[in-house]
Amino acid sequence: MSFKDLFLKRNYSSDIDDLLFDFYIPVLNESIGYFRISGFFTSESLAIAARGILGLVKNGGYMKLIVSPKLNYEDVETIIDASQDPTKYIHYAIEKDLENLENEFVRDHLFALGWMIANNKLDIKIALMYNQDGKIMTSDEIINSGIFHQKVGIFTDREGNIITFSGSVNETLLGWQKNVEEFKVFRSWIDVESEYVKEDIKKFERYWYNMSSNIKVMDVPEAIRQKIIKIVPKDFDINVLNRWYVKEGINKRIKKINLFEHQIKAIESWESNNYKGIISMATGTGKTYTAIGAIDRILKKNKKNLIVISVPYSHLIDQWSNSIEKFGLDLSFIIKCFSENSKWYSDLKKYVRKLLIGQINNVLAITTHNTLISDKMKEILYGLRDDINTILVADEVHGIGSLKRRENLPNIFRYRLGLSATPKRMYDSFGNKFLKEYFGEIVFEFTLCDAIYKVNPLTYNTFLTPYYYYPYRSRTYKKIIQKTLLKNVQ
- The pLDDT value recorded for residue 172 is 47
Which amino acid belongs to residue 313?
Y
> DSSP strand E in 209-263: where?
215-219
- The pLDDT value recorded for residue 249 is 38
Task: Render pLDDT for 113-163 as a digit per residue (tens, 0 to 9).
Answer: 889 999 999 999 888 877 777 777 776 776 666 555 557 899 999 999 999
Q: Which long-range contacts (CB under 8 A, 24 or more apart) does 342-347 make?
A: 344/371, 345/376, 345/380
Give the separation between CA 294 and CA 412, rounded to whole angstroms: 19
Give the separation between CA 181 and CA 150, rounded to whole angstroms: 11
Helix (H) or strand (E) holding 309: strand 305-311
Give the separation between CA 421 and CA 396, rounded to whole angstroms: 7
Does residue 333 sit in helix, strand or coil?
A: strand
261-286 as b/e: b if 16+ CB within 10 A:
ebbeebbebbbeeebbbbbbbbeebb
Q: What distance separates the 2 farthest-apart alpha carbons in the chain? A: 97
- CB-CB neighbours of 238 under 10 Å: 18
Task: Render pLDDT for 10-57 as a digit per residue (tens, 0 to 9).
Answer: 888 877 777 888 899 999 999 999 999 877 777 777 788 888 899 999
Task: Render pLDDT for 386-400 as a digit per residue (tens, 0 to 9).
Answer: 889 999 999 999 999
Task: Render pLDDT for 347-388 as a digit per residue (tens, 0 to 9).
Answer: 999 899 988 888 888 899 999 999 999 999 999 999 888 889
208, 154 in Cβ contact below 8 A? no
Cβ-based neighbours of 194, under 8 Å, separated by 6 or more: 186, 187, 188
Cβ-based neighbours of 294, under 8 Å, separated by 6 or more: 267, 270, 271, 393, 417
Phi, psi of 438 (to 5 degrees): -80, -50
Domains of the chain (ranges; CATH) run 3-247 (3.30.870), 259-488 (3.40.50.300)
Average per-residue pLDDT for the chain: 82
pLDDT higher than 90, residue 265: yes
- Chain mean position to CA 351: 13
Q: How far is CA 446 from CA 115, 279, 282, 464, in A?
A: 60, 8, 6, 12
> DSSP strand E in 287-414: where?
305-311, 333-337, 362-368, 389-394
Position 176 confidence tier, pLDDT thresholds 50, 70, 90: very low
Give the separation between CA 431 and CA 407, rounded to whole angstroms: 10
pLDDT higher than 70, residue 241: yes
Model-wide pTM > 0.75: no
> 192-206, 316-330, 346-360, 461-475: lowest mean pLDDT where?
461-475
Instruction: Provide the 8-state DSSP code for 4.
Output: G
Which amino acid belongs to residue 7?
F
